[in-house]
Structure 1
Amino acid sequence: MIDRELIKRAIAEDLNGGVDITSMATLSPDAKVSAQFVARNEGVIAGINMAIATLAEVGVTDATALVKDGDLVKSGTVLIKVSGNARGILLAERTALNFLGHLSGISTLTSQWVNAVAGTETKIRDTRKTTPGMRALEKYAVRMGGGTNHRLSLSDAALIKDNHIAAAGGVVAAFSLVHEKFPTSEIEIEVDNLQQLRDVLPLKPGLVLLDNMDPEQCAEAVALVAGATKLEASGGITIENARAYAEAGVDYIAVGALTHSAPNFDIGLDMEVE
Structure 2
Amino acid sequence: MSGAIVTHSVQLVRRNIGEALRVSLVPLAVATVLIGLITAFFGPEVPLQPGTEEAPAPADLAATLIVLAVTVTVGILCAAWAAVAWHRFVLLEEYPGWIPPFAGRPVGAYALRSFQLSLVVIAIMVPISLVFALIATLLPFVFLVFLAIFFAASYLSLRFGLILPATAVGETMSLRAAWAASASASNGIAVAAVVLAALQIVLALAVQGLALAGLGILAFAADIVVNWLSLMLGIAVLTTIYGVTVEGRRLG
TM-score tier, shorter chain, comes to under 0.3
Higher helix share: 2
TM-score normalized by the length of structure 2: 0.25
Higher relative contact order (CA 8 A, sep 6+): 2
Higher strand share: 1
TM-score normalized by the length of structure 1: 0.23
